[in-house]
Amino acid sequence: MHVTYSLRFLERRWRALVLLVSTLFTLQTAAAQRPAGLRGTVADSLSGRPLAGVSVGLVGQPGGTDTDALGQFRLAGLAPGTYQLRLGALGYRLKTRGVVVVAGETRGLAITLATTSLNLAEVTVSQPRDPNQTLAAISHIDQTLRPLNSAQDLLRLVPGLFIAQHAGGGKAEQIFVRGFDADHGTDFSVTIDGLPVNMVSHAHGQGYADFHFVIPETVEQLKVYKGPYTARFGDFATAGAGEFSTKTSLDRSQVKLEVGRFDTRRALVLLDLLGSHHLLSKKAESAYAAAEYNFTNSYFDNPQHFKRFNGMLKYTGQLTDNTSLTLLGSHFNSRWDASGQVPERAVAEGIISRFGSLDPSEGGSTNRTNAYAVLATALPHDAVLRQQVYYSRYNFNLYSNFTFFKNDPVNGDEIDQTDHRNLYGYTGTYDRDNRLGSRNLHSTFGLGTRIDDSALGLRHAVQRQVLDTVSTGRLYEQNSNAYLDETLELTDRLTVNAAVRADLFVFQFRGQRADSAGGFLPLSGRVTRGRVSPKLNFYYQLSPAVQLFARSGLGFHSNDARAVVQGSGAFNALPRALGYEGGSTFKPVPSLVVNAAFWALHLQDELVYSGDEGTTESVGPTQRFGFDVSGRYQLTGRVFFDADFNFSHGRLVDAPAGENYIPLAPTFTSIGGITLKNPNGLSASLRYRYIDSRPAQEDNAIRARGYFLVDAVASYTQPRFQLGATVENLLNVKWNEAQFATDSQLRGETTSVNELNFTPGTPFYLKLNASVFF
């Protein structure tokens, strides 16, 4: 009996042991089948600061990702084994690293990249995290190669974008892009570090984008988005958007002095404030100050006495492994006299010279103070939360005279436009990398609001003395918005980006405007309007060197609150834009990057507020289509070629044939050049700009004249100093910068004349500079 019991006991133990071994074997087999993963952080090898936008992938494997705002990345769903990890970013040495991943585990990595000279062979044509960048590789290359001499040069970094100045250097430039005379920004959105530049319901024009408060030497990156295909951008982003960002740190401190023709003088200081010291954290931190002062009398007969000051402080710190903080404060002010635009007949009849002025009292002043804070936090489940609050205090006072003595033969037609504004805003984004089955899914949810509170005025003046009021009042305009953006890898080669954006606007204005009898009529009201804008984009990676894309989306630009609350424009408060395009970014040879796109854009109504007259104008619906091609080629390790060609065809939809031209819309533009780039020693660039002649009014009876200009830049750089020279209009071409078909009347004339009015472009202009680094 005792023996039988012992045998049963041993049998039970044996069965338990067999079951345990079988279970362990099953678990081991299951673990071997479970996917592995990689996650890591990429930082600059010198400063230790995290690097965003670094391309991360596996050699020989399709797909990949980019580092997020905290320099972090994740590659999931990997089969166990040994891989070669590839990391690349423009201006950094390409890095490969062998890694072994074990089934069921996610391996962590900390990687640093070292800076190096530009090599186009290492440029990738895909953007996994931000695929809607129209010219990602192109704009990164340009930022590295193009010399920057002024705030105007920053906007010219956008391929195919032309600018024109026509009221002194302190005023926002007129923008031309993709068949648009976008005025001062009505159809092109501009931001700097997430801070909006365009002004809604501005005293001078809708979407007014004065970019002169940015010091060019502080700009680190530009991202270009053509068309209304990106959910992150709402108002004004119909033809596209330019997203600029300033440097997070300085490689070295700098003092720079410039002198040039026409009494031009400029001083710049860039100062690293921390060095190896710490302020709020023991981790990577940086803080710097930047300031510039600029003076010129310009090339006009009437000296401009142009003065501009810019000051800026910026702090960026890695508070913890998962949190970064950015703080910025800046101030800008400018004052100038202007020569304005003049009629051709005034020059032809010898009343003034080509660089003369009919009203020397034109000019103005403006200032802007900005502050923002950005907190980025890494959350569980591969998510990043970025929150930004910002504030701007803005003042603007402009004296202009476009029609001279047409409306008031005695005192003249000078006007005074004023804008005293407070701008508040919040933007929050939640980014997360997910898996949908075996496929990567990147999700972004955005939420924001913007409030403009401004006192606006339009007055009649003579010699900068106000005579009477045309309109005045208080603006309150708020935009609340939210969007959801999803990017899914449908296959190893095909990616789809689908998004939807919702905007709600409150237009409110309380004021009055003059009537024909010399009294005043109320100009007041409150209108609420909303707009939903879906987007759908496809990207196909035909090969590592060829990406095809098809993009589509709905967008809008808001109209001036004064026009909206009057009632006539209420139903067109947010005229819709429909855009679509197809094309490719590809590298036919390793050292050549090309972007080409066929595009079309339809606007529901180009209804805008004319700040010069205080009236609302509508040209009705419009349609445009065109072709863009950009190429960047590296001939040798130091020599680069670039060229952009942009063709567009635009027409007014409801106008009869022959009277349906879109005034001032460019039809063909081209920009290009050759650059010698050396980290030390001699660097030089020879560049051209071309824009064709185009209709200045609907019937094409008056045409704006095209031009071809050549500019040159040279510099000699050593570790401790730099000497340089800039020449604008090297061939001394006589050209018109800004041009309009204007109905004007000169003193002594009995009737007005409709003809081309223009602001002459700069003649041959030489400027020298010297910098000291420390």
- Does 319 lie in the same domain as 193? yes
Within a domain: residue 572?
Answer: yes
Give 22: exposed, middle or buried? Use CB within 10 Å, 0-12, 13-18, 19+: exposed
Query: Does any domain span residue 131?
Result: no
Percent of the chain with pLDDT over 70: 91
Could you tell me if 361 and 473 lie in one domain? yes
pLDDT in tens, 155-194: 888 888 898 887 667 788 999 999 888 888 999 999 999 9
User: Is the domain of 140 the same as that of 117?
Assistant: no
Q: How many independent structural domains does the chain possess?
A: 2
pLDDT tens, 94-140? 888 999 988 888 888 899 988 877 788 877 787 766 777 766 666 66
pLDDT on residue 440? 87
| 128 within some domain | no
How do beta strands 36-44 and 106-113 pair? parallel
Burial of 465 (0-12, 13-18, 19+ CB in 10 A): exposed
Domain boundary among 72, 94, 121: 121
d(CA 19, CA 31) in angstroms, rounded, equals 18
* Percent of the chain topping pLDDT 90: 67
Identify whether residues 410 and 505 lie together within a single domain: yes
Structure tokens at 566: 């009057």
The answer to the question of residue 645 being in a domain is yes
What is the CATH classification number for the domain harbouring 79? 2.60.40.1120
User: Are 469 and 454 a contacting pair, CB within 8 Å?
Assistant: no
Average pLDDT over residues 562-574: 76
Are 574 and 559 within 8 A, CB to CB? yes
Q: Is 145 helix (H, G, I), strand (E, B) or coil?
A: helix
Q: Are residues 292 and 145 in the same domain?
A: yes
Please give the backbone phi and psi of residue 155, each rounded to the nearest 5 degrees, phi first: -65, -30
CA separation for the pair 514, 523 (Å, rounded): 10
191 and 98, same structural domain?
no
Q: What is the pLDDT of residues 189-228, one digit of tens each?
A: 999 999 999 999 999 989 999 999 999 999 988 888 999 9
Q: Tell me if 126 is assigned to some domain.
A: no
pLDDT at residue 371 in the model:
98
Q: Which amino acid is at 394?
A: Y
**Domain enclosing residue 321, as ranges:** 136-773
3-state secondary structure of 111: strand
Please state, as a whole number, how many other Cβ atoms lie within 10 Å of the Cβ of residue 697: 19
| pLDDT at 61 exceeding the cut of 90 | no
Mean pLDDT over each residue of the chain, to the nearest integer: 89
Largest pairwise CA distance in the chain: 136
Distances (CA, A) of 541 to 87, 147, 311, 594: 18, 33, 44, 15
Under DSSP, is residue 27 helix (H, G, I), strand (E, B) or coil?
A: helix
pLDDT tens-place string over residues 336-349 = 999 888 999 999 99
The pLDDT confidence band at residue 147, using thresholds 50, 70 and 90, is low
Q: What is the mean pLDDT of residues 282-311?
A: 94
Specify whether 35 is located in the same domain as 61. Answer: yes
Q: What is the pLDDT of residue 33?
A: 55
Do 455 and 602 share a domain, yes or no? yes
Q: Residue 732 corresponds to which tokens in the numbers above?
A: 């001394």
Higher pLDDT, 556 or 90: 556
**Residue 177 within a domain:** yes
The answer on 83 and 157 residing in a single domain is no
User: How many helices, marked H, and strands, marked E, lie in the chain?
Assistant: 5, 45
| Separation CA 710–CA 729 (nearest Å) | 5
More confident residue, 753 or 492: 753
Same domain, 584 and 708: yes
